[in-house]
Amino acid sequence: METIDQIALRQEEAEKAGSAPVIVAENLRKSFGSQTVLNGISLTVHRGETLAVLGRSGTGKSVLLRLVIGLEKPDSGSICIHGQDTAGLALDQMGEIRKKMGFVFQQAALYDSLTVEQNVAFPLLHHKKDMSKAERSDRVMQLLAEVGMEGNLRKMPSDISGGMQKRVGLARALALEPDVLLLDEPTAGLDPISSGEIDDLVLKLQQKYHMASIVVTHDLHSAKAIAGRLALLNEGNVVIEGSFEELQKSNDKFVKEFLKQS
Amino acid sequence: MIDQQAIAVASFDPPLPVPEAAVLSPTASSSKGLIMQFLEWFGDLGMFFWQVVRAAVTPPFEFRELFRQLDEIGSKSLPLVALAGAATGVVLSMEARYSLTRFGAKSLLPAAIVFSVIHETGPIITGLVVSGRVGAGIGAELSSMKVTEQIDAIEASAVNPYRLLAATRILACILMLPLLTLAADCSGLVMGWVAQAAVEPLSFHQFINSGFKGADFSDFLPPTFKTMFFGLIIGLVACFQGMRTQGGAAGVGRAATSSVVLSSLFVILADVVLVKLILIFFP
């Protein structure tokens, strides 16, 4: 009989070998009132892989991410992270899984009463209790340097631009060295240059940390730049999933229209 | 179009009507519907309370945030509570003097002031002042965090928001209310004496000796410690209303208002029950 630790170890080894996916979502359904948002979506993401979820506004892309991290509960279907089904987990149990996950919110969601430095230090302060103040400070500096924000330690979130807020949000999401990264519209509301910078940054961090990532976006250029695989959502379903070239070859009317307009 | 409000709130609980809004709403037509909403609200409050208790008694404990809240709720409410207590002491002194003189019982004036302040006016004034200042503050802060996804960000960072945000604030309210009541009592008694001495010379020593003659700890402790329940009510209602907010800036305003209105109302209602219980158990 295998212990939980042995199962986790076996899962980790399989994930590293690429044979076991890190994120497995099966037949997810989610409605809000009479509005069906997701209608039986399934997806898998392996270690080191980035999946971009595309679609029109209001097709449930962000809801999908919130389901994966457990901020929403699916009406039916299952989500497994590192082989563990997240259904029915209590908040603290889900917290153990979330320690290995990073989430970048669409509006960054930085804590507005904390400085940039304190925002990034927040997860470390709560989960790395054995870390000394100096070590924590070094780690925060390293993270902020990685996203090009090392010169803004003492600034409040309200004093920096939207693009900078997203960088800080990204640094905060990486603080606990997650092996799952979820990004909700990382380039939304940014100018083309800032968008490009964020794309480069995500790509660089992805190559460095080999995380399993899901990027939700409606920006096809961004998706093409940072993801190896794309999934296009429409009316709660995945219309097509594959590489950008596979999307281009599709004869589906919606896929063609989406690519044409993007 | 996805209902964004519903999405924003769904990580804690399903979107539910705010009772105050429902009471004021012209669309809340039937009394049966109102009763159902009222019961639903209480049910959700009960579940929220259970979540908070469960989070509060299991580690890791958020001592840093608790101390911050003790300062925020306690120290920063002190001047306001002391001022309200002082004003009450003066008014009581003036009113009691007028009434007691009419009935030829002027010698009872110090005792009347002391008993009124420590038995009822000190605790209830503290409860109401704190529910105004702290209730609105907690309601507005948490609701603002809710609509800007900061509470979701806390949860996504594997930190239990019930433990970090709600338990610390509620506990700070529970611990601080008796201390603030003491401050209100002291300032009320001092200013009651000042108002008395301004009309008729009387030393503070005489005032206190005469006022506390016949009083014992059972006159002082139960009314002071009953404010722990007021603290529980204020913290719980404000955190609940804040963390279930929906609807942007308007929602923040509604949460702040309903936190104050509901916590003040429940403090007064709880006082009725607690006074009766104190009279039964500490006759």
What is the model's pLDDT at position B13?
38
Q: How far is B141 from chain A (nearest CA, A)?
A: 10
Size of interface A-B (CB pairs under 8 A): 82
Counting Cβ atoms within 10 Å, is residue B192 exposed (0-12), middle (13-18) or buried (19+)? buried
What is the model's pLDDT at position A13?
66
What is the model's pLDDT at position B71?
95
* Element spanning A22, H or E: none
What is the model's pLDDT at position B215?
80
User: Residues A140-171: pLDDT tens digits?
Assistant: 999 999 888 888 889 999 999 988 999 999 99
How high is the mean pLDDT of chain A? 88
Is the pLDDT score of B7 beyond 60? Answer: no
Report phi then psi at A253, rounded to 5.
-65, -45
- Percentage of chain B with pLDDT > 90? 66
A234 touches chain B (CB under 8 A): no
Task: Categorize the per-residue pLDDT at A22 as very low, low, confident or very high, splitting at 50, 70 and 90.
Answer: very high
Rounded distance, CA A166 to CA A147, Å?
9
DSSP for chain B reads ---HHHHHHTTTS-----HHHHHH-TT---HHHHHHHHHHHHHHHHHHHHHHHHHHTSSSP-HHHHHHHIIIIIGGGHHHHHHHHHHHHHHHHHHHHHHHHHTT-GGGHHHHHHHHIIIIIHHHHHHHHHIIIIIHHHHHHHHHHHHTTHHHHHHHTT--HIIIIIIHHHHHHHHHHHHHHHHHHHHHHHHHHHHHHHHS---HHHHHHHHTTT--HHHHHHHHHTHHHHHHHHHHHHHHHHHT--SHHHHHHHHHHHHHHHHHHHHHHHHHHHHHHHHHH--
Beta strands in chain A (DSSP E): 23-32, 35-45, 50-55, 76-81, 84-85, 101-104, 180-184, 212-216, 229-234, 237-242
How high is the mean pLDDT of chain B? 87
Task: Categorize the per-residue pLDDT at B12 as very low, low, confident or very high, splitting at 50, 70 and 90.
Answer: very low
Q: Give the type of residue at B251.
A: G
Q: How far is A1 from chain B (nearest CA, A)?
A: 30
What is the model's pLDDT at position A177?
92
Could B148 and A66 be called an inter-chain contact, meaning their C-beta atoms sit closer than 8 Å?
A: no
Task: Categorize the per-residue pLDDT at A110 as very low, low, confident or very high, splitting at 50, 70 and 90.
Answer: very high
Residues B85, B184: contact at Cβ < 8 Å? yes
What is the model's pLDDT at position B282?
81
B57 touches chain A (CB under 8 A): no
Of A193, A189, A213, A188, the closest CA to residue A202 belongs to A213
Task: Categorize the per-residue pLDDT at B283 as very low, low, confident or very high, splitting at 50, 70 and 90.
Answer: confident
Range of weakest confidence among A75-89, B154-168, B221-235? A75-89
Report the 10 Å Cβ neighbour count for B210.
17
Please report, for residues B120, B131, B175, B281, the alpha-carbon distance to residue B275 in angstroms, rounded to integers and kept in the order given: 9, 19, 20, 10
Chosen for mutation from A92, A105, A122, A183 (greatest number of chain B CBs closer than 10 Å) is A92
Highest mean pLDDT among A60-74, B93-107, B164-178, B206-220: B164-178
Rounded distance, CA B65 to CA B180, Å?
20
Task: Categorize the per-residue pLDDT at A90 as very low, low, confident or very high, splitting at 50, 70 and 90.
Answer: confident
B156 touches chain A (CB under 8 A): yes
Question: Can you name the residues that pair with A80 across neighbouring β-strands?
Answer: A24, A85
Find residues 101-130 of chain A whose CB sits inside 8 Å of chain B: 101, 103, 105, 107, 109-112, 122-123, 126-127, 129
Chosen for mutation from A93, A103, A156, A165 (greatest number of chain B CBs closer than 10 Å) is A103
Mean pLDDT of A90-94: 87
Range of weakest confidence among A119-123, A230-234, B102-106? B102-106
Find residues 20-39 of chain A whose CB sits inside 8 Å of chain B: 32-33, 35, 37
Could B149 and A91 be called an inter-chain contact, meaning their C-beta atoms sit closer than 8 Å?
A: no
Residues B18, B34: contact at Cβ < 8 Å? no
Is the pLDDT score of B21 beyond 70? Answer: no
A62 touches chain B (CB under 8 A): yes
Please tell me whether residue A214 adopts helix, strand or coil conformation: strand
Residues B234, B130: contact at Cβ < 8 Å? yes
Please tell me whether residue A131 adopts helix, strand or coil conformation: coil
Could B150 and A110 be called an inter-chain contact, meaning their C-beta atoms sit closer than 8 Å?
A: yes
Task: Categorize the per-residue pLDDT at A190 as very low, low, confident or very high, splitting at 50, 70 and 90.
Answer: confident
What is the model's pLDDT at position A131?
92
Residues A64, A243: contact at Cβ < 8 Å? no
Highest mean pLDDT among A29-38, A178-187, B76-85: B76-85
Q: What is the DSSP letter of A240?
A: E
Mean pLDDT of A38-63: 91
Q: What is the complex's ipTM, to 2 decimals?
A: 0.89
Could you tell me which residue, B1 or A38, shows the higher pLDDT? A38
- Percentage of chain A with pLDDT > 90? 52
Counting Cβ atoms within 10 Å, is residue B245 exposed (0-12), middle (13-18) or buried (19+)? buried
Could you tell me which residue, B277 or B13, shows the higher pLDDT? B277
What is the model's pLDDT at position A18?
61
Task: Categorize the per-residue pLDDT at B9 as very low, low, confident or very high, splitting at 50, 70 and 90.
Answer: very low
Name the maximum alpha-carbon separation found in chain B.
75
Question: Which among A32, A101, A122 has the least Cβ separation from residue B7?
Answer: A32
A93 touches chain B (CB under 8 A): no
What is the model's pLDDT at position B11?
38
